[in-house]
Amino acid sequence: MKKLRTNHITVLYENGALRQIKLGDTEILRMIYSAVRDRNWDTIEPKIEDELLEIGENSFDIKLKVCYQTNPIHFVAEYQISGEKNKIRFEMTGTAQSDFLKNRIGFCVLHPIRECAGKTATAIHSDGSTSEFLFPEYISPNQPVKNVRAMIWEAAPGITARMSFSGDIFEMEDQRNWTDASFKTYCTPLELPFPAEIRKGDTVLQVVELTIETEKNQKSPVNDFVFSWSDERISKLPELGTAISSRKETLTHGEIDLLGNLPFQHLRVEVKMNHPDFADVFGKAMREGKLLGWPLFVVLYLSENHSNEYQKFASFCRELNVKVSYLLMVGPNHLPFAEFDELSAQIRNDFPEILIGTGVNAYFAELNRTRPAIEKADFVSFTICPQVHVSDSATLVENLEAQAEVVSSAHVLFPGKPIYISPVSLKQRFNVVAITAEPEPEPGTLPSSVDPRQRTAFAAVWTLGSLKFLSQSGCRLISYYETVDWKGFIQGEFNPDCPEKFHAKANDIFPIYEAIKELSGFSQVIHSHSSHPLLFDGLVVKSELETKLFIFSFSTEELVVTLNTGLQPKEIRSLLYSTNPELSRDQLTLQAWDLMVIKFNT
């Protein structure tokens, strides 16, 4: 990333996008970028073909040419980004190089949660009229404001921001529905028909401009890196589990032995009773669960023929003595099962030991929109994926805080019910809103559900960050990823299908495995605070005998962090580097993407 500045504003530039636009230490906007999204809402990866940066001491001007191409879409845009004094301007001139269908082409402006949630703002509409709107405190299923030509809000006392839009009609959505840590102002309105046809030669012209006014001199950002915690706030460590692998081969004895070292208490499986392979899928999960000693978390898909489907499921469980701890009933389109109350009574009579839940096998957005009845449910469940909209590593780190937001909003929507997150995956497992079937991956490419970062240090530190935010918000159960292979904790005893893209080999143990293994024996999470959570963070867990700190870096640079704990460590080591770290005067040096484990006597 390149750090740019004007007389008043600092901003980071990366791959054609502006990030973390700040006045002093106040974040005004999280991001400005442009996106092309196809008829299934998939985001087309931009490829920069030409880029010219003119960076002055207090100004910048950037020109770039970007190509968005995947069959049948071919769209080329030229951008000019300029910043001077108290203004930033972002212009787009794009031309379609082919005929295609699109759901969206244009600018997206992301507003940060901490600085905006709960505040009122003013919208200026297309006809010149104005209205007040609220950045919602809890996650809204609907657009907070529509038909926006400009908006004005107070980012902090004495700091007023104005954002203007031209070239299309803009509106706002609450992106926390998909665990993005932002409110997004975007075009085109969702109430207009989509997908829309774009013809070769069609042009898209848009401009967005940010102006910041302040009444006082701003303090420079504080660059002291501090991590602290206090025993005054402690939460229970959620029950952890994982899902059966999508790999066709069943787990080997060697894989079973390795996975048995992880502190997991359930094995997740999706069972679709109207599919011909349901017995194979359920049977595989049953056998692997018995070998691992983990009971099953069953996501049971049911149709209008649910009575017969349930009887088939119940017979299977009785005949094979399947141990099921959790049963989440799901209806068509991964949404809440409509006949939950009726069928749950029968399940409780047949299997009184099973906890029965309602919810969705999809994102919080679908749960927030459907809001099922919960009186007879033991728990409410939904899924998390950090890259529904954008996939770069910095965005995934920024979005961690939104995981606490969805749990907090779920507690408000469903008071008194335990919140389960099952599963968490790095990539979308399937496209919930797709209107066409997902094509098979081309030779030499990864499936869309596979993230090559699964095998890297990034997955380890991101997962610990996820666990921190979900634990501290009161989540009761989390299923992370799959057992083995390219969505798992270890590669296992088989090579990946596409080693040229997923750089692992048989028997590789991923950093995420080593990180999660370190949680064994711990039952509590101490609430903690990072001064710069987008650069580093930590997770503090506690047992009767000791306290353990996982402190990890999201930075590509070395960081010196002060631990404000008042405790003397008894052991310190890096899980990722073969170095012997030391704690000097309560200061610790974190290398790029480092993960350190520090033990303290309780």
553-594 pLDDT, tens digit per residue, is 999 999 999 999 878 888 999 998 877 777 776 889 999 999
Q: What is the DSSP string of 339-376?
A: THHHHHHHHHHH-TTSEEEEE-SS-HHHHHHH----TT
Decide if 160 is inside a domain: yes
Whether 419 and 530 map to the same domain: the answer is no
Decide if 139 is inside a domain: yes
| pLDDT one-digit tens code per residue, 472-520 | 999 999 999 999 999 999 999 999 999 999 999 999 999 999 999 999 9
Whether 488 and 592 map to the same domain: the answer is no
| pLDDT one-digit tens code per residue, 246-296 | 999 999 999 999 999 999 999 999 999 889 899 999 999 999 999 999 999
pLDDT surpasses 70 at 545: yes
- Total tally of structural domains belonging to the chain: 3
Decide if 220 is inside a domain: no
Whether 43 and 186 map to the same domain: the answer is yes
**CATH number for the domain that contains residue 93:** 2.70.98.10
Confidence (pLDDT) at 150: 98
Decide if 539 is inside a domain: yes
| pLDDT one-digit tens code per residue, 246-256 | 999 999 999 99
Domain that holds residue 368: 238-250+261-316+326-344+353-432+447-521
Whether 566 and 463 map to the same domain: the answer is no
Cα separation of 9 and 218, whole Å? 10
Whether 280 and 170 map to the same domain: the answer is no
| pLDDT one-digit tens code per residue, 304-361 | 999 999 999 999 999 989 999 999 999 999 999 999 999 999 999 999 999 999 999 9
Whether 30 and 106 map to the same domain: the answer is yes
Single-letter amino acid code for the residue at 447:
P
pLDDT surpasses 90 at 171: yes
| pLDDT one-digit tens code per residue, 438-469 | 778 888 899 999 999 999 999 999 999 999 99
pLDDT more than 90, % of the chain: 88
Confidence (pLDDT) at 222: 66
State if pTM tops 0.85.
yes
Q: Which residue has the tokens 């402190």?
A: 551
Whether 72 and 126 map to the same domain: the answer is yes
Confidence (pLDDT) at 204: 97
> Where a domain ends, among 521, 538, 554?
521
Q: Average pLDDT for residues 165-177, to the nearest whole number?
A: 97
The candidate with the shortest Cα–Cα distance to 267, out of 368, 150, 255, 69, is 255
Residues sharing a CB contact under 8 Å with residue 275, sequence separation 6 or more, in sequence order:
281
> Where a domain ends, among 472, 499, 521?
521
Mean per-residue pLDDT over the chain, rounded: 94
3-state secondary structure of 555: coil
> Where a domain ends, among 471, 487, 521?
521
Token pair of 270 as six digits:
């999706």
Whether 43 and 85 map to the same domain: the answer is yes
Whether 61 and 144 map to the same domain: the answer is yes
Whether 36 and 147 map to the same domain: the answer is yes
Whether 77 and 119 map to the same domain: the answer is yes
| pLDDT one-digit tens code per residue, 188-246 | 999 999 999 999 999 999 999 999 999 766 666 667 899 999 888 999 999 999 999 99
**CATH number for the domain that contains residue 464:** 3.20.20.80
Whether 480 and 530 map to the same domain: the answer is no
Decide if 219 is inside a domain: no
Decide if 442 is inside a domain: no
Task: State the burial class of residue 222 (Cβ atoms within 10 Å of its Cβ: 0-12, 13-18, 19+).
Answer: exposed
Residues sharing a CB contact under 8 Å with residue 498, sequence separation 6 or more, in sequence order:
444, 445, 446
Decide if 29 is inside a domain: yes
Decide if 321 is inside a domain: no
DSSP state of 309: H
